[in-house]
Structure 1
Amino acid sequence: MQKQVSRCPWVDPTKKDYLDYHDREWGVPVHDDHRLFEFLTLEGAQAGLSWYTVLRKRGNYRLAFDHFDPEKVARYDESQVAALLGNPGIIRNRLKVLAAINNAQRFLEVQEAFGSFATYMWRFVDGRPIVHEIRTLSDYPATSPESEAMSKDLRQRGFKFVGSTICYAHMQAIGMVNDHSVDCFRRQEIIAAYAGMGS
């Protein structure tokens, strides 16, 4: 008989792709610019929708957005915008599509200014994940002082769809905050793995 594994209260155990995302990716510290751009784009697409809606379309997004290569996305013209808006595999919202292209351009500017987007992002938590004590669904914050600061700074740099709530979800996804619940098996695994990196 398989041992029952304890997971975060938001996880729907009937959705295998949701389980895989939670067990392998969510909350794992990301310092790779390519993946950071992917998450930034997907979080923007999520605005007003559930994360699961976007997660199910992730493969389509990778194909539609040149595997989230910011240099390629930054050069998209109106014909590519039209193609994206005609693509049933992604969320066909013109403002979100235009925001993704704009954000790719701003992303490259931040890379130029800071050496990498990761260097820029991780400054908001002083380079180390914040670990929260989450026990129930009601314990999950929607924003934080760090997400407020990040949102304000990104907006000043011209990014779109980067409100504080979106920024906090981004921070959760890329491990800037560890919001795995105290009884979730991933919480300690991620803490131990990050400590083992010598950070």
Structure 2
Amino acid sequence: MDKCPWALASPLEEHYHDTEWGVPVHDDRLLFEFLILEGAQAGLSWATILKKRDGYRQAFNHFDAARIACYDAAKIQELLANPGIVRNRLKVQATIGNAQAFLAIQAEFGSFAAYIWQFVGHQPVQNTWATLRDVPASTAQSDAMSKDLKKRGFKFVGSTICYAYMQATGMVNDHLIGCFRHGQT
């Protein structure tokens, strides 16, 4: 079975590719999880984040934004001592601030999904890339998403991170046309 070449780097990445990457997500909790994990990846490999994903779920109350939004200085110190996550103070603090901004968006739009999917017209963008070289690092949609998220107080949401987020959550289908998953998402 043909797959996107990046998926063959490890069994963990292959499983993620085959079961999650590019599947449209409309669940707010999972959308928040991916937003935090994509931001945590900044400067690191996605494989590193996948290996720490369960640690993140445990450390951050299974990505319960309401609980995370209330974290205090003692909780930040606890998180910075946790080897199950990326122990970067700016990223930990950004997770708390992002949770607060996430809750504000839910209050304004009714759900985070209603807000975030507007950047692709509420339908997945179906791309037809033949090679990894064809896949862009960012697009006009990820630029707009990044700009608006930053305006609303989010951190670690540059355009490249936003595009990776769009790929992960199925807002764009970037499985290569030769990949068995291309027609499934």
Specify the TM-score bucket, using the shorter chain as the normaliser. Answer: over 0.9
Measured after TM superposition, the shift of residue 16 of structure 1 is 1.3
Measured after TM superposition, the shift of residue 168 of structure 1 is 0.2
Map 1:57-68 to 2 at 5 A. 57-68=52-63
Map 1:156-195 to 2 at 5 A. 156-190=151-185
Map 1:118-129 to 2 at 5 A. 118-129=113-124
Corresponding residue of 2:49: 54
Measured after TM superposition, the shift of residue 160 of structure 1 is 0.4
Map 1:5-154 to 2 at 5 A. 5-12=1-8, 15-154=10-149
Q: Distance in 2 between matches of 1:49 and 1:181?
A: 23
Q: Distance in 2 between matches of 1:40 and 1:12?
A: 24
Q: Distance in 2 between matches of 1:156 and 1:102?
A: 13
Measured after TM superposition, the shift of residue 46 of structure 1 is 0.3
TM-score (norm 1): 0.92
Percent identity between matched residues is 60
Matched AA of 1:98: Q
| 1:159-183 CA-partner distances (Å, limit 9, x unpaired) | 0000000000000000000000001
Matched AA of 1:78: A
- Between Structure 1 and Structure 2, whose CA radius of gyration is higher? 1
Unaligned runs of 5+ in 1: 191-199
- How many residues are treated as equivalent by the alignment? 185
Unaligned runs of 5+ in 2: none
Measured after TM superposition, the shift of residue 89 of structure 1 is 1.1
Measured after TM superposition, the shift of residue 132 of structure 1 is 1.0
Write out the 4+ residue segments of structure 1 that deviate beyond 4 Å after TM superposition: none
